[in-house]
């Protein structure tokens, strides 16, 4: 742990504490401050001027990043008939209906990362909602994981769809790629993520929407972005 601590300190010293960086500058720095031996994820954190206790200021959805995340996910699709066949052809890892719901309930089976379900499957799936909810696996229409076209969602996930949800403090987190991505790909992903969130500003929110934004690698130091370099932050 001491060795890791030393690496973190050395990486932190490259980041000026009271400085905010333009996006291109921040992306270059985040690659330089990666301290893990593995290919770290690059993450963004946005603090928003919202009150999530109010229903009209809750923020949740999904984004298909232009350059993907560099991370593959095992996809479980719950559907019947043609929708199930199309999902299978789209490359879903597991496809079924109540048989797989029973497997989760009875065998504690969680060999997947995301569930995509058709609306007709939701009543049966709701019976194990207390198990899926805490794991963040419950499908939701706002993220596109409850849909009549599961094959499209499977394709989106494989392309690099990331889900986001504002927490009680108004923070939104997301993965925008890997350290191994080139600067252009990370910049495009980050810009797309930020712009999507800004466009999702609830109408009830007045004044500046984004309080601050930072990026970091897994276990790396945070790098604050210059909000003046962003557009539409009103």
Please tell me the total count of domains within the chain: 2
pTM for the predicted model, two decimal places: 0.83
pLDDT in tens, 167-212: 999 999 999 999 999 999 999 999 999 999 999 999 999 889 999 9
Q: What is the dihedral of CA 88, 92, 94, 97, to 10 degrees?
A: -60
Same domain flag for 170 and 222: yes
> Is 1 within the bounds of a domain?
no
Tokens encoding 126: 């709701």
State whether 168 and 55 are in the same domain.
yes
β-strand pairing of 75-78 with 114-117: parallel
Please tell me whether residues 55 and 168 are part of one structural domain. yes
Q: What is the mean pLDDT of residues 212-221?
A: 93
Predicted local distance difference test score (pLDDT) of residue 2: 46
**Domain annotation covers residue 80:** yes
CATH number of the domain bearing residue 58: 3.30.190.20
Q: Is the pLDDT of residue 142 over 60?
A: yes
Position 168 in a domain: yes
Of the residues 107, 132, 158, the one at which a domain ends: 158
92: pLDDT strictly greater than 70:
yes
Question: Which residue range(s) make up the domain with 175?
Answer: 16-69+161-229
9 within domain boundaries: no
**Residue 127 lies inside a defined structural domain of this protein:** yes
Supply the CATH number for residue 122's domain: 3.40.50.790
Answer yes or no: is 4 within a domain.
no
In a domain, 132, yes or no: yes
Q: How far is Cα of residue 144 from the mean position of the Cα atoms in its chain?
A: 13
Instruction: Tell how far CA 135 is from the center of its chain.
Output: 14
Report yes or no on 11 lying in a domain. no
């Amino acid at each position: 742990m001491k060795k890791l601590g030393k690496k973190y300190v050395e990486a932190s010293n490259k980041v000026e504490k009271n400085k905010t960086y333009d996006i291109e500058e921040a992306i270059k720095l985040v690659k330089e401050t990666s301290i893990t031996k593995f290919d770290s994820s690059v993450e963004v954190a946005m603090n928003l001027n919202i009150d999530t206790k109010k229903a009209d200021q809750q923020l949740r959805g999904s984004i298909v990043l232009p350059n993907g995340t560099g991370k593959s996910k095992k996809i479980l699709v719950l559907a019947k008939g043609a929708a199930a066949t199309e999902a299978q052809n789209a490359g879903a890892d597991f496809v079924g209906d109540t048989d797989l719901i029973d497997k989760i309930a009875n065998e504690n089976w969680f060999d997947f990362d995301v569930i995509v379900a058709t609306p007709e499957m939701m009543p049966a799936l709701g019976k194990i909602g207390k198990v899926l909810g805490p794991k963040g696996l419950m499908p939701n229409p706002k993220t596109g994981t409850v849909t009549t076209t599961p094959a499209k969602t499977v394709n989106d996930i494989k392309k690099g769809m990331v889900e986001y949800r504002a927490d009680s403090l108004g923070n939104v987190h997301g993965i925008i790629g890997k350290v191994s991505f080139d600067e252009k790909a990370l910049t495009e992903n980050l810009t797309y993520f930020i712009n999507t969130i800004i466009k999702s500003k609830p109408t009830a929110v007045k004044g500046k929407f984004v309080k601050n934004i930072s990026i970091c690698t897994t276990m790396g130091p945070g790098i604050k972005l210059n909000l003046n370099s962003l557009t539409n932050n009103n």
